[in-house]
Amino acid sequence: MDDENPFNICTWDVNADCDSCYVKEKLNCKFDRKFLAGFITYVIPFFFCSIFGMIYTAIVTGIWWLLIGYGIFLVLFFTVIEMRILCRHCPYYAKEGKTIHCHANEGLPRLWKYDPTPLSRVEKLAFLACLGFLGFFPIFTEIYGIWYISMNYAIYGFYALLGLIGIAVASLITVLAWLSNLQIFYCPSCINFSCPLNRVPEDDVNAYLEKNPIMKDAWEKYGYRLKK
């Protein structure tokens, strides 16, 4: 056990016997920048469309607080809220340091101590609520913009209305594509097993826990039972 890996998590153990581990091909249990690049590639189209649509709406309506509020939420979500309710339970978060190293939030500040227990029910609900707000608030804002333009059609005209409708549709498509790609390519192999989006089979979860006694003990004390 070293100072940077006080919970002896095999993900951060450079001497771990990965060759004999049968789940190594099933789990994204070692940091790989190609997975980080893939995650960023999936999420960028959504943020581009949604932020552009919110700016468009703010310019048309003169209401900027929706965009500003969403921007503040994004900063708080990625640096504080998500770290507190989701990330601190992930084995990737177990490595000591001022920043975290993972396939989604690489380089962000590590404000909390690692917690090897699974997420509580409240944490799961809070994460889903925040994720829903993150993904769909921009679309509702754009729908408001569409309504506003339609109510002032004589001022803004057909192309302004059609443009915002197109942006709203693009925002919806890209957020659904992002979430779908997560479920298809990331969630089935993610080692943050208690995340409400996680889809790793129970046998693979158990195999990973068996290799990480401290995490396993924390899960069992929380009420989890490994199948023998």
Residue 77 lies in a domain: yes
Domain count of the chain? 1
Q: Over the stretch 120-159, which tens digit does the pLDDT of each residue have?
A: 999 999 999 999 999 999 999 999 999 999 999 999 999 9
pLDDT of residue 43: 94
Query: What average pLDDT does the chain have?
Result: 94
Per the domain annotation, does 205 fall within a domain?
yes
Is 228 part of any domain?
A: no
- Res 228 pLDDT > 70: no
pLDDT band at 1 (very low <50, low <70, confident <90, very high): low
Judge whether 212 and 5 are in contact, CB under 8 Å.
no
Residue 191 pLDDT > 70: yes
Residue 11 included in any domain: no
Between CA 169 and CA 177 the distance in angstroms is 12
Q: φ and ψ at 73, to 5 degrees?
A: -60, -45
Q: Cα–Cα–Cα angle for 29, 14, 94, nearest 5°?
A: 55
**Range(s) of the domain holding residue 74:** 26-222
pTM: 0.92
Distance in angstroms (rounded) separating the CA atoms of residues 198 and 20: 25
Q: Is residue 76 included in any domain, yes or no?
A: yes
Residue 4 lies in a domain: no
pLDDT > 60? residue 173: yes
* Within a domain: 94: yes
**Domain for residue 8, yes or no?**
no
User: 113 burial class (0-12, 13-18, 19+ CB within 10 angstroms)?
Assistant: exposed
Q: Quick one: pLDDT at residue 17?
A: 83
Cα gap 215→155, rounded to integer Å: 61
Q: What is the pLDDT of residues 24-52, one digit of tens each?
A: 889 999 988 888 898 899 999 999 999 99
pLDDT tens for residues 52-100? Answer: 999 999 999 999 999 999 999 999 999 999 999 999 999 999 999 999 9
Residue 11 CB: number of other CB atoms within 10 A? 23
